Amino acid sequence: MSRKPKKGYFVRGQFVAEGSELDLELKRELKGTEGTSRTDKKRESDQLQDIGVELLTLRNELAERLNTQGHITDLLRDALADARRITNFEGKRRQMQYVGKLMRKLSEESVVAIQDALNEQKMGSTRDTLALHLAEQWRDRMVADDEAVAEWMTHHPHTDSQQLRALVRQARKDDTTSKADVAKGLLPRQGRTYREIFQLVKTQLNALEDAAHIPPEDDAVYKP
């Protein structure tokens, strides 16, 4: 008969069993400020634990910046690393509770810095999504209308016009969607050339954004 696994969490790769001397010592160190109600402590702990969950997905360069600035302690960094390795649901839940407790020990400045880093990551994802949508819009317009190709070249004169026009012509040939299919609401058949136009457009948009340091939605090339 297998033994029932002990309840606990990891600290710097070491398992700490609940109720052990080390567990009691850590809990004493992590004890909240006197005078705070249990409800307030629970709310604060839950909020910080939620931030800890988001920290598991933080990009390496943002996490390294927080480490360099001293906003993430060694203990917290190790606890997060252990949490990433745990696959058992209950084990991960308890580990994240421990992460929440560690985050309660951080200064308000550090918590704000962590939230700023998480927001920066979210904004980056939003810009990437907008850039993809913009590239898709340009591709669809150019395949459907020669005037859109001319408009694109006006805004992006460094684009290889011969390559772009050749890709557009081939994409139109590859599209065998009938009028009946369009009436049924079916999307055009998208082949390799269709994807090549998208990549060409996206590359040009990214180059323009890098040069101008502006969000892709402010590219001022197409307003639907």
Query: Taking every pair of C-alpha atoms in the chain, what is the biggest distance, in angstroms?
Result: 76
On whether residue 3 sits in a domain, the answer given is no
Query: Is residue 98 located within the same domain as residue 160?
Result: no
Token pair 């009028």: residue:
179
Domains held by the chain: number? 2
Which helix (H) or strand (E) segment is 50 a member of? helix 38-55
Other beta carbons within 10 angstroms of residue 121's beta carbon come to 17
On whether residue 1 sits in a domain, the answer given is no
Tell me, what's the pLDDT at 224?
Answer: 41
**Residue 51 · residue 110 · CB < 8 Å:** no
On whether residue 95 sits in a domain, the answer given is yes
What CATH number did the domain enclosing 172 receive? 1.10.60.30
Query: Is residue 75 located within the same domain as residue 151?
Result: no
| Boundary-marking domain end, from 76, 106, 136 | 106
Residues pairing with 9 in the sheet:
16
Query: Is residue 28 located within the same domain as residue 89?
Result: yes
The whole-number mean pLDDT for each consecutive block of 10 residues of the chain, a chain of 224 residues, reads 67 82 78 56 76 88 87 90 90 89 87 86 72 86 91 90 91 69 54 84 78 50 43
Query: Is residue 16 located within the same domain as residue 88?
Result: yes
The C-alpha atoms of residue 111 and residue 105 are separated, in whole angstroms, by 10
**Residue 222 · residue 133 · CB < 8 Å:** no
On whether residue 224 sits in a domain, the answer given is no
Q: From residue 13, give the alpha-carbon distance in Å to each of 19, 60, 83, 205.
A: 18, 20, 10, 45
Tell me, what's the pLDDT at 31?
Answer: 63
Query: Is residue 18 located within the same domain as residue 94?
Result: yes
Query: Is residue 23 located within the same domain as residue 53?
Result: yes
On whether residue 20 sits in a domain, the answer given is yes
Q: Can you give the residue range of the structural domain that contains 150?
A: 125-218
Query: Is residue 135 located within the same domain as residue 190?
Result: yes
Residue 90: phi and psi, rounded to 5, are -65, -40
Query: Is residue 131 located within the same domain as residue 183?
Result: yes
Tell me, what's the pLDDT at 22?
Answer: 82
Tell me, what's the pLDDT at 2?
Answer: 53
| Boundary-marking domain end, from 47, 74, 106 | 106
